Amino acid sequence: MEPINIRLPEKKLEKIDEIASKNGITRSEVVRQALTIYLSLLENIGDFSGIRGLKINSREISATRRRDLLLLHLKNRQVIALGSTSSGGIGEKAGDKLQIDGRILGKIMARTALIKVIAVGASPITLVGNLSVELNPSGLAIFGGIREESRKIKRIEILEGHTEENFSTNETGLGITVLGIVEEERLKVGKIKAGDCVIAVGNPKVGREVLEEGVIELETVLGLSKSERIHELLPVGSGGIRREIEELEKIYGIRISLKDNPRIAIDRSCGPSSVLLAMVAEEDLDRVLDGIKEEVEVIGEVL
């Protein structure tokens, strides 16, 4: 790396120092990460006519929600997707209810947050992780897992945020937020059609099952999100499949008929998004099913 000299107003320097102090990093690291994220945004959004082109009036942004995902619709027909997840009582601390390696925890939680953004067709560009444990040794292991899972995304910047350095902790807690971007016409939201088949990919798993049996790989989700044959893709969490279906019916004012006695347990928690629901036109169903290596079942139809 080569050093560069930049001049900044005193107020901006004070803000940079405040961020550096809170996160336990240097002023240079704050500037480096800010520039990296800025350049990543330029690369994903497209060329700007200049710095002034970045100015967006808040009145020119419309916000919509898709369950726990926030979508910011920009005037240039780009959409910023913000998704997040958290966990508590899972890790290597004495008080954790489920004892697992910190690196594994980081991988699972990064995957969960990334899937929420990827499922709507967005490309993740930034991940921010905050931990309620000390950096060394607990935080280093968790951040290592977060980085390992996030490397599956070709272009993503990771901000390793706050850790708890003021007090000793007896349980592990963490929160992850992912920012992604997608063109409005490629957004997989609100495109469910009457006659669509509802397929469940994966199997409900929670707790130790996730560790022992594994869950849907991030690469599978990436492939499904890019398929034009899939109208909508939804990760299922702790509420289970039936609750997810009921939420869809409320949001879109539709009716979904579930088949009798499906093999998959539709009322069971799916933990860290161990199941995905995909809406597919009947004529495209066979092609979509042929391309899925995970467990899959047609469980219903949009009326």
Q: Residue ranges of the domains in the chain? A: 57-186, 197-302
Structure confidence at residue 229 (pLDDT): 95
Instruction: Identify the pLDDT of residue 55.
Output: 63
Note the pLDDT of residue 51. 46
Per-residue pLDDT of the chain (303 residues; tens, 9 = 90+): 777 888 888 888 888 888 888 777 888 888 888 887 777 666 655 544 444 455 667 777 899 988 789 999 988 889 999 999 999 999 999 999 999 999 999 999 999 999 999 999 999 999 999 999 999 999 999 999 999 999 999 889 999 989 999 999 999 999 999 999 999 999 999 999 999 999 999 999 998 898 888 899 999 999 999 999 999 999 999 899 999 999 999 999 999 999 999 999 999 999 999 999 999 999 999 999 998 989 999 999 999
The fold of 57-186 is 60s Ribosomal Protein L30; Chain: A; (3.30.1330)
User: Model-level pTM?
Assistant: 0.81
pLDDT of amino acid 211: 86
Report pLDDT for 175: 97
Contact predicate 246/179, CB 8 Å: no
CATH number for the domain whose boundaries are 197-302? 3.90.650.10
